[in-house]
């Protein structure tokens, strides 16, 4: 199997020297004494990797330097300092050469660059090496990335949707946290057999789990009530079942009432306006990204004011068992300490048809 592999050699350098990212700041980071870490982490992964695979990669520290022990071919050579244009060009070449998986080593910025080219054509998997890793495409360590690649090659993984998230780096350096979901990549995971006690043992596929959740949601949604639907593929599945597949935005916050979309990709002001006239509203959201933020990352339009107006008791959180397993604790960061406190503690999260899990919620 052909695997596209690249390293963003400057990823992660900003972190140790107090920069909130490294994009466009590699020289500054080096001046501050940062040492490249991405290559080392990529080597760790490749040292572990023992799969029946052929690596398509880039020259020098963008790839080749880490794969000398593997079967490989350099399909792209960069010159000077590598930039995100090099990442994108390499991805395009990997696709052209028939790569079936794209393994990259970097952070959120790299994930975003890779995703912008690869989209959902093939699965992507990240070896974590960046300053920021909010995206859900990263393995938990270089070693576990190697394990996942092996399982993928053996056909023993399943695929799940993973948020590709990044911050506005300019704002981030001013200590303003603005997260944005750029899209949903496809990433492999190892299905864990779940003991189903007396009845059966089965791992439900991500798609199956989303369908169950959506089926239940469509059952409990009442006419005449307004539903604010958050972003993501889990919530989008509800819209699909309601027959609103084309109208609900994947990345935005929309409003539905009586089976119709009454507001699309709404911002905070529009949401507040809409709420003026509604006696009862519910918010349906799914945690976003690897850290499991219910509010405050990527959906800032669901502000403290909006949530308070709807009422904490009318917030319904939904997530697949796989996602809940990967996020031991859910997070909230609404900007209001008081509201964060109200939302913290334990929350019942719908995770299947007539099924929920109790999850701990902390303020982030």
Partner 1 sequence: MNEKVKILLDEEEIPKAWYNIQADMPSPLDPPINPATMEPVKPDDLAPIFPMELIKQEMTTERWIPIPEEVREVYRLWRPSPLYRALRLEKKLKTPAKIYYKWEGVSPPGSHKPNTAIAQAYYNMKDGIERIATETGAGQWGSALAFGTMLFGLKCTVYMVGASYDRKPYRKVMMEMWNAELYRSPSKNTEFGRKILAEDPDTPGSLGIAISEGVEDAATHDDTHYALGSVLNHVMLHQSVIGLEAKKAFEQIDEYPDVIYGCVGGGSNFFGSCSPFVADKLKGDKPDLKVVGCEPRACPTLTKGLYQYDFGDCAEMTPLIKMFTLGHTFVPPPIHAGGLRYHGDAPLLCKLVKDGWIDAVAYHQNEVFKAAKLFAETEGIIIAPETAHEVKAVIDEALRCKEEGKEEVIFFNNSGHGHFDMGSYDVFLRGKLVDYEYPAELVKQSLAKVPKVE
List contacts with partner 1 (CB under 8 A). 193-202, 216, 219-220, 222, 316, 321, 324-325, 348, 350, 352-359
Minimum CB distance to partner 1, residue 240 (Å): 18
Minimum CB distance to partner 1, residue 84 (Å): 38
CB within 8 Å of 144: residues ≥ 6 apart: none
Minimum CB distance to partner 1, residue 330 (Å): 13
CB within 8 Å of 129: residues ≥ 6 apart: 7, 8, 11, 12, 37, 38, 41, 42, 105, 106, 107
Looking at the Cβ atoms of 90 and 316, the one nearer to partner 1 is 316
Query: What is the rounded CA–CA span in Å between residue 165 and residue 179?
Result: 7
Looking at the Cβ atoms of 93 and 356, the one nearer to partner 1 is 356
Q: Two tokens at 94?
A: 């990997």
CB within 8 Å of 192: residues ≥ 6 apart: 203, 325
Beta bridge partners of residue 359, listed in sequence order: 347
Determine how many CB atoms are found less than 10 A away from the CB of residue 122: 19
Looking at the Cβ atoms of 33 and 155, the one nearer to partner 1 is 155
Cα 211 to Cα 206, 242, 261: the distances in Å are: 9, 12, 20
Looking at the Cβ atoms of 246 and 313, the one nearer to partner 1 is 313
Minimum CB distance to partner 1, residue 213 (Å): 11
Looking at the Cβ atoms of 7 and 256, the one nearer to partner 1 is 256
CB within 8 Å of 76: residues ≥ 6 apart: 57, 58, 59, 62, 86, 89, 90, 93
Cα 226 to Cα 279, 284, 334: the distances in Å are: 9, 11, 21
Minimum CB distance to partner 1, residue 293 (Å): 20
Looking at the Cβ atoms of 129 and 361, the one nearer to partner 1 is 361
CB of 81 within 8 A of CB of 26? yes
Looking at the Cβ atoms of 70 and 344, the one nearer to partner 1 is 344
Q: Two tokens at 222?
A: 């009442």
Minimum CB distance to partner 1, residue 280 (Å): 12
Looking at the Cβ atoms of 219 and 338, the one nearer to partner 1 is 219
Query: What is the rounded CA–CA span in Å between residue 326 and residue 140?
Result: 10
Query: What is the rounded CA–CA span in Å between residue 143 and residue 138?
Result: 12
Minimum CB distance to partner 1, residue 13 (Å): 34
Looking at the Cβ atoms of 82 and 322, the one nearer to partner 1 is 322
Minimum CB distance to partner 1, residue 129 (Å): 27
Minimum CB distance to partner 1, residue 226 (Å): 15
What residue spans of the chain are helical by DSSP H?
13-16, 26-31, 38-48, 84-96, 108-118, 142-153, 169-173, 206-220, 233-241, 268-275, 304-310, 321-326, 337-343
Looking at the Cβ atoms of 71 and 199, the one nearer to partner 1 is 199
Please report where in the chains the tokens 């949604």 appear, as a residue: 221
Minimum CB distance to partner 1, residue 160 (Å): 18
Which of helix, strand or coil describes residue 358? strand
């Amino acid at each position: 199997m052909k695997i596209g592999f690249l390293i963003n050699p400057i990823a992660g350098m900003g972190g140790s020297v107090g920069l909130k990212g490294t994009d466009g700041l590699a020289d500054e980071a080096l001046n501050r004494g940062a040492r490249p870490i991405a290559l080392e982490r990529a080597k760790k992964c490749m040292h572990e990797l023992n799969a029946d695979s052929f690596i398509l990669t880039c020259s020098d520290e963008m790839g080749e330097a880490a794969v000398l022990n593997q079967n490989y071919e350099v399909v792209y050579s960069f010159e000077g300092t590598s930039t995100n244009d090099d990442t994108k060009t390499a991805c395009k070449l990997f696709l052209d050469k028939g790569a079936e998986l794209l393994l990259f080593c970097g952070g959120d910025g790299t994930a975003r660059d890779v995703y912008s080219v690869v989209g959902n054509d093939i699965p992507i998997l990240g070896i974590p090496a960046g300053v920021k890793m909010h995206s859900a495409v990263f393995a938990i360590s270089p070693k576990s990335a190697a394990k996942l690649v092996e399982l993928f090659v053996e056909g023993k993984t399943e695929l799940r949707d993973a948020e590709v998230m990044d911050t506005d780096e300019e704002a981030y350096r001013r200590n303003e946290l603005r997260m944005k979901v750029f899209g949903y990549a496809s990433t492999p995971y190892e299905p864990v057999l779940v003991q189903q006690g007396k009845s059966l043992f089965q791992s439900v596929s991500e798609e199956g789990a989303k369908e169950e959740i959506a089926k239940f949601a469509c059952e409990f949604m009442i006419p005449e009530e307004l539903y604010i639907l958050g972003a993501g593929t889990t919530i989008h599945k509800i819209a699909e079942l309601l027959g609103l597949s084309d109208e609900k935005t994947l990345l935005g916050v929309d409003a539905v009432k009586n089976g119709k979309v009454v507001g699309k990709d709404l911002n905070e002001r529009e949401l507040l306006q809409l709420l003026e006239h509604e006696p009862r509203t519910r918010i349906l959201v799914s945690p976003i990204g690897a850290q499991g933020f219910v509010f405050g990352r990527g959906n800032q339009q669901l502000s403290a004011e909006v949530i308070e107006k709807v009422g904490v008791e009318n917030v319904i959180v939904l997530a697949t068992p796989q996602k809940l397993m990967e996020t031991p604790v859910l997070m909230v960061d609404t900007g209001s300490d008081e509201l964060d406190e109200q939302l913290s503690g334990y929350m019942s999260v719908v995770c299947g048809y007539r099924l929920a899990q109790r999850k701990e919620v902390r303020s982030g």
